[in-house]
Chain A
Amino acid sequence: MPSEPIVHIVDDDSAIRSSLSILMKSVGFDSRAYASAEAFLDQADFERQGCLVVDVRMHGMSGIELQQLLNERGSKLPVIIITGHGDVPMAVQAMKAGAVDFLEKPYDNELLITRIRQCLREISNEQDRESKVAKAKSRLAQLTPRELEVMNLLVAGKHNKAIADDLDISVRTAEAHRAKVMKKLHADSLSDIVRIALLMQP
Chain B
Amino acid sequence: MTASKIKLLLVESELNDAEKIRIAFDELAPTQFAISHADNMAEAAELIDKKPFDVVLLDVGITDTRKLDSCCHLSKTNPSLPYIVLGDEDNQELALAAVKHGAQDYLNKNKATGQVLIRVIRYAIERKRSEENLLTNKEGVQQLLEYADEGIYSVDLEGNCTFINPSAVRMLGYHDESQLLGKHIHPLIHHTRADGSPCLDKECRVYASTRHGKVFHVDDEVMWRADGRSFPVEYRTAPTRVNGVINGSVVTFSDITQRKQIESDLKASHDELEQRVKDRTRHLEKVNQLLEIEIEHRIKAQEVLDTEREFISTLLDTVGALVCVLDKEGRIVMFNRACEETTGYRFDEVKGKYVWDLFLVKEDIEPVTQVIRNLQAGQFPSRYENYWLTRDGEKRMIVWTNTVLHDDAGEVKNVIGTGIDITEKRKIEEKEKQRVLELAHVSRLSTMGEMATQIAHELNQPLSAITTYSDAGLYMLKSLPEQNPDLVTALREIKHQAQRSGDIIRGLRNFVSKGELQTSTTDINALVHSVLNLAMSEFRNNKVEVNFSLDEALPLIITEKILIEQVILNLVRNAIDAIADANSKTRKVHIHTLLNKENMIEVRITDTGPGLNAEQIETIFNTFVTTKPQGIGMGLPISRTIIEAHGGKLFAESERKNGASFVFTLPLKRIE
Interface residues of chain A, those whose CB is within 8 Å of chain B, are: 13, 15-16, 18-20, 22-23, 25-27, 84-85, 105-106, 109-110, 159-161, 170-172, 175
A-B contact pairs, 20 of them (CB 8 A): A15-B462, A16-B468, A18-B465, A19-B465, A19-B467, A19-B472, A22-B469, A23-B469, A23-B475, A26-B472, A26-B474, A26-B479, A27-B475, A106-B460, A109-B468, A159-B518, A160-B520, A161-B517, A171-B558, A171-B670
The answer to whether B519 and A19 have CB atoms under 8 Å apart is no
A109 to chain B, nearest CB (A): 4
Task: Count chain B residues whose beta carbon lies closer than 8 angstroms to a beta carbon of A.
Answer: 29
The answer to whether B468 and A22 have CB atoms under 8 Å apart is yes
B419 is an interface residue with CB less than 8 A from chain A = no
CA gap between A14 and B502 in the complex, in Å: 18
* Chain A residues in 8 Å Cβ range of B670: 171
- Closest 8 CB pairs between A and B? A19-B468, A15-B465, A26-B475, A109-B471, A23-B472, A22-B472, A19-B465, A13-B461
CA gap between A106 and B457 in the complex, in Å: 12
B464 is an interface residue with CB less than 8 A from chain A = yes
CA gap between A30 and B476 in the complex, in Å: 15
The answer to whether A15 and B461 have CB atoms under 8 Å apart is yes
B70 is an interface residue with CB less than 8 A from chain A = no
* Chain B residues in 8 Å Cβ range of A159: 518
* Chain B residues in 8 Å Cβ range of A171: 519-521, 558, 670
Indicate whether A23 sits within 8 Å of B471 (C-beta atoms), given known contacts A18-B465, A159-B518: yes
B506 is an interface residue with CB less than 8 A from chain A = yes
CA gap between A15 and B473 in the complex, in Å: 15
* Chain A residues in 8 Å Cβ range of B503: 106
B499 is an interface residue with CB less than 8 A from chain A = yes
State which residues 44-70 of B face A: CB under 8 Å: none
- Determine the residue in chain B with the shortest Cβ distance to A25: B472
* Chain A residues in 8 Å Cβ range of B462: 15
- With beta carbons under 8 angstroms apart, the residue of A26, A160, A170, A175 that contacts B476 is A26
CA gap between A18 and B469 in the complex, in Å: 8
B526 to chain A, nearest CB (A): 15
- With beta carbons under 8 angstroms apart, the residue of A105, A106, A110, A161 that contacts B519 is A161
A50 to chain B, nearest CB (A): 19
CA gap between A17 and B261 in the complex, in Å: 158
The answer to whether A172 and B468 have CB atoms under 8 Å apart is no
B480 to chain A, nearest CB (A): 11
CA gap between A167 and B205 in the complex, in Å: 132
- Determine the residue in chain B with the shortest Cβ distance to A19: B468
* Chain B residues in 8 Å Cβ range of A20: 468
CA gap between A20 and B461 in the complex, in Å: 12
The answer to whether A105 and B464 have CB atoms under 8 Å apart is yes
B518 to chain A, nearest CB (A): 6
* Chain A residues in 8 Å Cβ range of B474: 26
A105 to chain B, nearest CB (A): 7
Contact with A along B568-609 (1 / 0, CB 8 A): 000000000000000000000000000000000000000000
CA gap between A15 and B465 in the complex, in Å: 6
Indicate whether A175 sits within 8 Å of B468 (C-beta atoms), given known contacts A26-B476, A105-B460: no
CA gap between A16 and B502 in the complex, in Å: 14
A13 to chain B, nearest CB (A): 4
* Chain B residues in 8 Å Cβ range of A84: 460
* Chain A residues in 8 Å Cβ range of B521: 171-172, 175
B246 to chain A, nearest CB (A): 136
CA gap between A46 and B556 in the complex, in Å: 53
Contact with A along B453-488 (1 / 0, CB 8 A): 000000011111111110111111001000000000
CA gap between A152 and B558 in the complex, in Å: 23
* Chain B residues in 8 Å Cβ range of A170: 558
* Chain B residues in 8 Å Cβ range of A172: 521, 556, 558
A172 to chain B, nearest CB (A): 5
- Determine the residue in chain B with the shortest Cβ distance to A159: B518
The answer to whether A160 and B472 have CB atoms under 8 Å apart is no
The answer to whether A85 and B506 have CB atoms under 8 Å apart is yes
B522 to chain A, nearest CB (A): 10
State which residues 499-555 of B face A: CB under 8 Å: 499, 502-503, 506, 517-521
* Chain B residues in 8 Å Cβ range of A109: 467-468, 471
In addition to A23-B471, A106-B460, A106-B499, 19 A-B residue pairs with Cβ atoms within 8 Å of each other are A13-B461, A13-B465, A15-B464, A16-B468, A19-B465, A19-B466, A19-B468, A22-B468, A22-B469, A26-B471, A26-B472, A26-B474, A84-B460, A85-B506, A105-B460, A109-B468, A110-B471, A161-B517, A161-B518
CA gap between A171 and B561 in the complex, in Å: 13
The answer to whether A175 and B471 have CB atoms under 8 Å apart is no
B512 to chain A, nearest CB (A): 15
Counting chain B CB atoms within 10 Å of each CB, the highest count among A26, A84, A171 belongs to A26
A35 to chain B, nearest CB (A): 13
- Determine the residue in chain A with the shortest Cβ distance to B495: A109
B515 to chain A, nearest CB (A): 12
The answer to whether A106 and B518 have CB atoms under 8 Å apart is no
- Determine the residue in chain B with the shortest Cβ distance to A106: B502
The answer to whether A175 and B520 have CB atoms under 8 Å apart is yes
- Determine the residue in chain B with the shortest Cβ distance to A57: B457
Counting chain B CB atoms within 10 Å of each CB, the highest count among A20, A84, A159, A161 belongs to A161
* Chain B residues in 8 Å Cβ range of A175: 520-521
- Determine the residue in chain A with the shortest Cβ distance to B556: A172
CA gap between A26 and B471 in the complex, in Å: 9
* Chain A residues in 8 Å Cβ range of B517: 161
The answer to whether B464 and A106 have CB atoms under 8 Å apart is yes
The answer to whether B475 and A16 have CB atoms under 8 Å apart is no
CA gap between A170 and B556 in the complex, in Å: 13
B116 to chain A, nearest CB (A): 172
B614 to chain A, nearest CB (A): 39
* Chain A residues in 8 Å Cβ range of B479: 26
B488 to chain A, nearest CB (A): 13
CA gap between A175 and B559 in the complex, in Å: 13
- Determine the residue in chain B with the shortest Cβ distance to A82: B464
* Chain B residues in 8 Å Cβ range of A26: 471-476, 479
CA gap between A106 and B465 in the complex, in Å: 11
* Chain B residues in 8 Å Cβ range of A110: 471
The answer to whether A16 and B464 have CB atoms under 8 Å apart is yes
- Determine the residue in chain A with the shortest Cβ distance to B478: A26
CA gap between A171 and B517 in the complex, in Å: 12
CA gap between A109 and B465 in the complex, in Å: 10
B205 to chain A, nearest CB (A): 127
- Determine the residue in chain A with the shortest Cβ distance to B457: A84
